[in-house]
Structure 1
Amino acid sequence: MSDAVRVYEVGPRDGLQNETQIIPTARKIELIDLLSRAGFRKIEATSFVSPRWVPQLADAAEVMAGIQRHDAVDYAVLTPNLKGAELAIAAGADELAIFASASEGFSQKNINCSIAESLSRFEPVMAVAEKAFVPVRGYVSCVAVCPYDGAVDPRAVRDVARRLFDMGCYEIALGDTIGAGTPESIRRMIEEVLTEIPAERLAGHFHDTGDTAIDNVRVALDLGLRTFDSAVGGLGGCPYAPGAKGNLSTAVLVEMLQAEGFDTGIDLQALALAEACIAAMKSVPPT
């Protein structure tokens, strides 16, 4: 496998959506512009979801219209349904992201439907994306532990990942949603998924609730994965584990990868400016 590793920045979406304080649109645009200059090739910019459910991302169209686009950067948008996909494509998204759970309990609690029903809802999303020549990335949540069902069978992760792959997702991100995965459980899960999907089509998305995210990345690297999600400043949190850490910090991930000889293409000094932007966001009292 290559010594190059792609770091997929998810902070502007997966990170900011969990912030209780509404972040001004201009600040979000500033953050994405700083990340664009730091060397990322993939930035998850926002999500077209109902503002009733995720008020923090109610300004998705304004954010997409305001960012300074770089030719080398793909700006991704999470889309839970056909309406969201159509809005994202109209806003100029370079790729879409869809998500399904490997746990029935989480699927019911999170999106009020079964896993099978959630997958069927993505068929029109895939169709409209194909017509617009927009690639789609698939997420599988709760790949290790579900907050409702407990430990998740790796075979369930494999099956959902395969369904998303067969639907046409170019890459499947394996999400440890509550950060309860250990190197042992993550290894078992990835080994099972690899029986159906090649490593170059998989990504690791590890939350750091249990301080195991970096160790989980190392396991995934050992198994051939070369794409990992992270969030600038460790943004994210977890609504199912109050007070817990959120996504793996991008700086921590990049520093580890570079120290171990992997080429990320990320400028750490430029990344520090984006982290300073996050700090400035959080220092402003809510209005």
Structure 2
Amino acid sequence: MHLPSVAVPAVLISEVGPRDGLQSVKTIMSTADKIRWINALHASGIREIEVGSFVPASSLPQLADTAELVRHALTLPGLTVMALVPNLRGAQAALASGVHKLTIPVSASEAHSLANVRKSRDEMVATVRDIVALRNALAPGVKIEAGVSTAFGCTIQGAVPEDDVIRTAALCVAAGVDESGLSDTTGYANPAQVGRLFRRLRAEIGDKAGAAHLHNTRGLGLANCLAAYEAGVRTFDASLGGLGGCPYAPGASGNVVTEDLVFMFEAMGVCTGIDLAKLLAAREPLKAGLPGEALYGMLPEAGLPKGFVQDAVHVD
């Protein structure tokens, strides 16, 4: 019996909306609505989701149900379940929940680091080292990524020297993380800068260079993603409907829209493994869970081009 060939995804689209998107929305989305949204994302072919963050409920009540969401997400086949942790206590809770991957924000900007996690850059690297030791002792199979935030500029400090960015990533790798990516926390990046920094990152830490987490604050999100792709990046964070931003970086709104990013790659012939029609349908449970919240995206507004046919996508 001849079985149709299935294209292997050339890039990994990591959906961060349930964490990065919801932390910036004042409305608290119900757990049931979040579960319906996560199910729809998984049904579209998304295979990595940052379902929340292990932080005190008093700080981010929008994410207070993260442990419950992890329990549900672990039942979805083939899904890498990811959570953000800013400190050792959060890492302990995340590892106890059974997540597959931890992400740790480590700011290249001293001012942003103090505002975001109340620790200096060097103190955060020490925290990374402690989290790695905890992971090694309790759950050695769990992956850890250190995301270097404010890598392209900071709304508090202003310009962030590129040497500081690369040094921060290298220190995190030396502390034992599996990978370190770069985050445009403030939406300041431009394509030339993105390409240059990711090439430097790959030259410094090789195959431990991680995801591109880029924002569309000033309309350059997709251009920056393309520059990162051309620099060798193959994992991209994005948020359905463009939800998100950093509450500790004033004015830094707007993650890259998952729908637009997937369309860009698929239109280029770069396989994502994601069914565009099902991905667009995943906006419905998001709208239902956040009535009245503005969602963004050019593809959802314009629709697919006439005659556009996505290559066959196999969704388990």
Instruction: Answer yes or no: is the 8 Å Cα contact 1:199–1:224 preserved in 2.
Output: no
Mapped pair 1:11 → 2:12? no
Counterpart check, 1:234 vs 2:245: no
260-269 or 126-135: bigger deviation: 126-135
Query: What secondary structure is seen at the aligned counterpart in 1 of 2:44?
Result: coil
Higher-Rg structure is: 2
Which residue does the alignment assign to 2:83? 77
Name the structure 1 match of 2:214.
206
User: Which amino acid is 2:163 matched to?
Assistant: R
> What 5-or-longer segments of structure 1 have no aligned partner?
none
Partner of 1:158: 166
Q: CA RMSD in A?
A: 1.8
- Distance in 2 separating the partners of 1:166 and 1:37: 37
Q: Which residue of 1 aligns with 2:127?
A: 121
Secondary structure at 1:53 match in 2: coil
User: Where does structure 1 differ by over 4 angstroms across 4 or more consecutive aligned residues?
Assistant: none
In structure 1, what is the equivalent of residue 36 of structure 2?
30
TM-score if structure 1 supplies the norm length? 0.93
Report how far residue 283 of structure 1 moved: 1.4
Cα distance in structure 2, aligned partners of 1:124 and 1:199 = 23
Contact 2:9–2:273, Cα closer than 8 Å, also in 1: no
Secondary structure of the residue aligned to 2:203 is: coil
Deviation at 1:48, TM superposition (A): 0.7
Cross-structure match for 2:103 = 97
Structure 2 counterpart of 1:130, which letter? N
Alignment of 1:1-287 (within 5 A): 4-67=10-73, 69-131=75-137, 132-133=139-140, 134-198=142-206, 201-239=209-247, 240-242=249-251, 245-283=253-291
Number of residue pairs aligned between Structure 1 and Structure 2:
283
Gaps of 5+ in 2: 1-7, 294-316
Q: 1:68 to 1:77 in 2, by over 3 A?
A: closer
d(CA) in 1 for partners of 2:47, 2:178? 15
Distance 2:114 2:73 in 1: 35
TM-score scaled by length of structure 2: 0.85
**Structure-2 change in CA distance of 1:68 and 1:27 (3 Å):** farther
Identity rate, percent? 38
